[in-house]
Amino acid sequence: MKVEIFDNTPEEIRRQRIPNVNGWYITNDEIFAMICLEGNATMQVETGEEFMLNKYDYALIFDKGFKLCDKSDNFRIRIIKVSRKFLDSIIDMDMRLNLNKLFCRPRVLRLTSTELRIYELVTKDLQILLRYEDRNYSREIITGYIKVFTYTSLFAMEKREQSEVYSTKREHEISDKFITLVREHYIESRRVSFYAEKLNVSSKYLSVLVKKATGRHPTEWIDDYTIDEIKQRLATTDQPMQSISYDLGFSTPSHMTKFFHDKTGKTPKEYRRSHTVNK
């Protein structure tokens, strides 16, 4: 039966005969589920991805070589290695399709206390059962445990997926509302805290969400609208610099001049001379 449970000591890994090429463990046609029980380490995957494994983190790897680097002295993981062929033989088509979605990329997630307890019970019992796999009904019992482990993993991963989808949706909702507010209030205020208060979130949280959703910090959006407003007034009106600067919340005209020059490479006077609309 292609199911093995072991820890990350060199002796145990050698005993399980995991192919190693220049420090990279090769998975071949096997699934590796790893639970970090103590310490931490960096997991590198041959696709170029890198994850930090901390205590109670769970990693799922299939069909991708991996390497464990920068391990703490107390780093300890439990590894469950299952043949993909064996797993396919004991699960139905729907579950196989769901698992295939999860195997598209490596996953690392923090286990809840309930999930950790289930994994601990299953792996401890399996370690005992695998010593007597030639006895009557052992295969059926082991198969049942592997199904419990697999369904629990699938549930945990799908819960993470739903959380990520919700998070992404919230990022875009808040960033869209933020940009709308900036369009309406950039003359009134250029402070991120002003917009965060209107959205009932902290300035830090707003900055993180907007950056994730748009690739730009909130101040960049505010600055862009402010620069466009200054340009429009310089090119189409005779409004004095002092008046423009105070209208847009700058403490002094020189402050606005420095801001405008930093963003455009020109002073407001230079811009006005080259862009004034002839009447």
- Any idea what the CATH number is for the domain that residue 232 is in? 1.10.10.60
More reliable by pLDDT, 31 or 161: 31
pLDDT of residue 102: 63
Same domain as 178, residue 44 = no
Report the pLDDT averaged over residues 10-17: 80
Same domain as 76, residue 55 = yes
Task: For residues 28 and 32, give the distance between their C-alpha atoms in angstroms, rounded to a whole number.
Answer: 10
Same domain as 149, residue 35 = yes
Task: For residues 108 and 114, give the distance between their C-alpha atoms in angstroms, rounded to a whole number.
Answer: 17
Same domain as 98, residue 39 = yes
pLDDT of residue 6: 85
**Which residue, of 126, 145, 162, is where some domain finishes?**
162
Give 174-216 pLDDT, tens digit per residue: 888 999 999 999 999 999 999 999 998 889 889 988 887 787 8
Same domain as 171, residue 60 = no
Same domain as 180, residue 155 = no
Burial zone of 228 (CB within 10 Å; 0-12 exposed, 13-18 middle, 19+ buried): exposed
pLDDT of residue 167: 54
- Residue 70 φ/ψ region, left for φ over 0, alpha for ψ in the -120 to 50 degree band, beta for the rest: left
pLDDT at 144 over 80: yes
pLDDT of residue 262: 92
Same domain as 201, residue 260 = no
> H helices within the chain, ranges in order?
10-15, 84-90, 93-102, 113-129, 138-185, 192-198, 203-214, 218-236, 241-247, 253-264, 268-275
Determine contact, residues 201/174, Cβ cutoff 8 Å: yes
Same domain as 234, residue 150 = no
CATH assignment at residue 120? 2.60.120.10
Same domain as 199, residue 104 = no
pLDDT at 279 over 50: no
Structural domain of residue 103, as residue ranges? 3-162
Same domain as 123, residue 92 = yes
Report the pLDDT averaged over residues 153-178: 72
First to last CA, the chain: 88
Same domain as 253, residue 203 = no
Give 207-247 pLDDT, tens digit per residue: 988 887 787 899 999 999 999 999 999 999 999 999 999 99
Task: State the total domains in the chain.
Answer: 3
**Which residue, of 130, 162, 194, is where some domain finishes?**
162
Q: Specify the DSSP class assigned to residue 277.
A: P
CA atoms within 13 A on the CB side of 6: 16
